[in-house]
């Protein structure tokens, strides 16, 4: 008896099929019973589709096979559970009040937390009292698996743009189990420019786009989204500013911002370019350039 998916969610469609290497199931009568009720019968009816019950409920499924020399019964019980998996990067920078998620880049450390909701006797089983079998990219991770290990920490692969994390959790008596999977994609660090006001600080509400007009003097602040370490002024991060391809030297303490001033009576366009490199992670590099008018 094959069950797909093996650990269904509440009300999820489940397919149950029969397979035999010693008998011809196409030539015998097969009857299916769900919670004692005959729901499907016929010659060679080797599969049944049904919806899983609600969370905490159970459905008993019986397949009764009428062989010439006697009947054979196969039984299973569907015990669906709610399964949630959450993940976060441990060292990916986003600016204050950013409403999105800090995304992982190459070489980031990622933590995945399993949150199963398995009901037994009307009560939810404590996740810390269950066993967990973790897989990364479909390979078992013995060190990360075990009793009470409802979280998994790994460093993503430099050569892959995503990692698949799967976990199967079971109660210690093996009567209840659940399974979850999540695919975590990596991204590349990116730079956004913002205006830095002397009174209001950095204006995060609107990023500066190509063709920005400089009137008098202004300060541009660069924000490297998703780069690590998650402190943009960390010594590991090398900042190199260019104006019209000429490097600009800035104080170490303010390397994330560049002051600009338009000379009176002069107009034109200048190209501002910034390159940020993580000296400890060769795959973490971001570059951005814009033209400003004055």
Dig out the tokens for 166 from the structure.
């799967």
Q: Look at the block and give the residue holding tokens 């950013």.
A: 98
Residue 236 burial (10 A CB sphere; 0-12, 13-18, 19+)? middle
Q: What is the distance between the alpha carbons of residues 181 and 84, in angstroms, rounded to a whole number?
A: 9
Q: What is the distance between the alpha carbons of residues 279 and 89, in angstroms, rounded to a whole number?
A: 20
Q: Are residues 139 and 158 in the same domain?
A: yes
Q: Are residues 158 and 108 in the same domain?
A: yes
Residue, of 198 and 16, whose pLDDT is higher: 16
Residue 223: strand pairing partners: 192
How many residues are listed for the chain in this entry? 294
- Nearest one of 224, 241, 218 to 293, comparing CA atoms: 218
Please write the tens of the pLDDT for every residue from 213-240. Answer: 888 888 999 999 999 988 988 999 999 9
Supply the pLDDT for residue 191: 96
- Give the total number of structural domains in the chain: 3
Q: Are residues 17 and 33 in the same domain?
A: yes
Please write the tens of the pLDDT for every residue from 173-191. Answer: 988 889 999 999 999 999 9
Region 128-152: what's the mean pLDDT? 96
Region 3-16: what's the mean pLDDT? 93
Q: Are residues 224 and 264 in the same domain?
A: yes
Q: Are residues 167 and 203 in the same domain?
A: no
Residue 103 structural domain: 82-185
Q: Are residues 103 and 152 in the same domain?
A: yes
Please write the tens of the pLDDT for every residue from 83-126. Answer: 999 999 988 999 988 999 999 998 889 999 999 998 887 788 99
Do 28 and 71 form a contact (C-beta atoms < 8 A)?
Answer: no
Please write the tens of the pLDDT for every residue from 282-291. Answer: 788 999 999 9
Please write the tens of the pLDDT for every residue from 233-256. Answer: 899 999 999 999 999 988 767 889
Residue, of 51 and 250, whose pLDDT is higher: 51
Q: Are residues 198 and 164 in the same domain?
A: no
Among candidate residues 63, 78, 93, the one where a domain is terminated: 78
Q: Which residues are CB-neighbours of 188 under 8 A, at least 6 positions away? A: 105, 226, 286
Kindly state the DSSP code that residue 263 receives in the 8-state scheme.
Answer: P
CA-based Rg of the chain, rounded to a whole angstrom? 29
- Nearest one of 69, 171, 70 to 118, comparing CA atoms: 171
Q: Are residues 74 and 101 in the same domain?
A: no
Q: What is the distance between the alpha carbons of residues 60 and 72, in angstroms, rounded to a whole number?
A: 16
Region 252-277: what's the mean pLDDT? 87
- Is the bond into 54 cis (omega within 30 degrees of 0)? no
Supply the pLDDT for residue 252: 67
CATH number of the structural domain spanning residue 131: 2.60.40.10
Q: Are residues 180 and 194 in the same domain?
A: no
Q: Are residues 26 and 57 in the same domain?
A: yes
Among candidate residues 78, 96, 117, the one where a domain is terminated: 78
CA 285 to chain centre: 22
Supply the pLDDT for residue 45: 96
What is the overall mean pLDDT for the chain?
Answer: 92
Please write the tens of the pLDDT for every residue from 57-91. Answer: 899 999 999 999 999 999 999 989 889 999 999 88
Q: Look at the block and give the residue holding tokens 């000296």.
A: 279
Among candidate residues 28, 58, 78, the one where a domain is terminated: 78
Q: How confident is the model at residue 159 (pLDDT cuts 50, 70, 90)?
A: confident
Supply the pLDDT for residue 155: 92
Region 26-50: what's the mean pLDDT? 96
Q: Are residues 13 and 73 in the same domain?
A: yes
């Amino acid at each position: 008896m094959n069950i797909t998916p093996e650990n269904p969610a509440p009300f999820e469609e489940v397919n149950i099929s029969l397979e035999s290497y010693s008998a011809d199931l196409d030539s015998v009568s097969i009857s299916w019973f769900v919670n004692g009720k005959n729901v499907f019968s016929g010659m060679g009816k080797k599969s049944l589709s049904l919806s899983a019950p609600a969370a905490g409920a159970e459905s008993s499924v019986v397949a009764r096979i009428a062989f010439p020399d006697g009947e054979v019964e196969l039984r299973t019980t569907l015990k669906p559970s709610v399964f949630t998996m959450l993940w976060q990067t441990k060292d990916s920078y986003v600016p204050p009040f950013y409403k999105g998620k800090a995304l992982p880049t190459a070489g980031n450390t990622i933590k995945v937390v399993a949150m199963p909701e398995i009901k037994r006797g009307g009560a939810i089983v404590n996740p810390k009292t269950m066993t967990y079998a973790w897989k990364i990219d479909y390979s078992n991770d013995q060190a990360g698996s075990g009793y009470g290990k409802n979280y998994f920490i790994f460093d993503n692969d430099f050569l892959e743009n995503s990692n698949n994390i799967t976990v199967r959790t079971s109660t210690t008596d093996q009567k209840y189990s659940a399974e979850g999977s999540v695919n975590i994609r990596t991204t590349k660090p990116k730079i956004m420019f913002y205006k830095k006001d002397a009174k209001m600080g950095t204006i995060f509400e609107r990023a500066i786009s190509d063709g920005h007009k400089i009137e008098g003097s202004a300060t541009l602040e660069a924000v490297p989204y998703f780069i690590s370490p998650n402190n943009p002024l960390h010594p590991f991060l090398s900042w190199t500013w260019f104006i019209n391809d000429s490097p600009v030297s800035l104080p170490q303490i303010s390397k994330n911002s560049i002051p600009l001033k338009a000379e009176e009576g002069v107009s034109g366009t200048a190209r501002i370019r910034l390159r940020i490199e993580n000296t400890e992670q060769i795959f973490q590099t971001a570059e951005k350039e814009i033209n400003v008018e004055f």
